[in-house]
Amino acid sequence: MRSSQPTMRRGRPVSGGTEPSNPLTLPDAPTAPRNVVAKPGVEAGSAVGSWIQPNTTGGVPLDSYEICLVGGECRDEPAVTLKTTFAGLPVGTPLTFTVKARNEAGLESTLESTSGLTLAVAPRVEITSGPAEGSFTKPEATI
């Protein structure tokens, strides 16, 4: 009894019916990066976008990620990078980042985006009393 399902012999697919055998598997696009997050950066007016690699790479290794600030700059990062920092950003304006993965076959994932991040204005600290600039007096200790 012949099966219409392909069978394996000596590591090569052999057709059990009249269908031609096709041992070539073409790569797919990777799935989208996961857990895309935007947080304020260390410097004023900066933000850090981070992500986790996709669940699948499409059958070939990842090559890079494209990270974009919606309405602004885009950049490519190598596949080993899972975060990037954007500087010189406006404060008080909602910012959204998108990230997509690209594999070595040149295929790209769908976009994954962050929710809006609004960079706050750093509070202004003003010293209104204290020693004059360049002067300091050591307090006396009483025992």
On average, the pLDDT of the chain sits at 79
- Cβ–Cβ under 8 Å, residues 30 and 66: no
pLDDT of residue 77: 97
- Cβ–Cβ under 8 Å, residues 116 and 89: no
Kindly report, residue by residue over 16-38, the tens digit of the pLDDT. 555 566 678 899 999 999 999 99
pLDDT of residue 119: 81
Residue 73 CA to residue 67 CA, distance in Å, equals: 8
pLDDT of residue 50: 93
Question: What's the length of the chain?
Answer: 143
Kindly report, residue by residue over 129-138, the tens digit of the pLDDT. 655 555 545 5
Gyration radius of the chain's alpha carbons: 28
Which sign does the torsion angle of CA 70, 74, 76, 80 carry? Answer: negative
Kindly report, residue by residue over 91-140, the tens digit of the pLDDT. 888 889 999 999 999 999 998 888 778 887 655 555 566 555 555 455 55
Kindly report, residue by residue over 52-93, the tens digit of the pLDDT. 999 999 999 999 999 998 888 999 999 999 999 999 998 888
pLDDT of residue 117: 83
- Residue 10, token pair as written in the block: 């000596």
pLDDT at residue 44 above 60? yes
pLDDT at residue 7 above 90? no
pLDDT of residue 11: 45
pLDDT of residue 130: 57
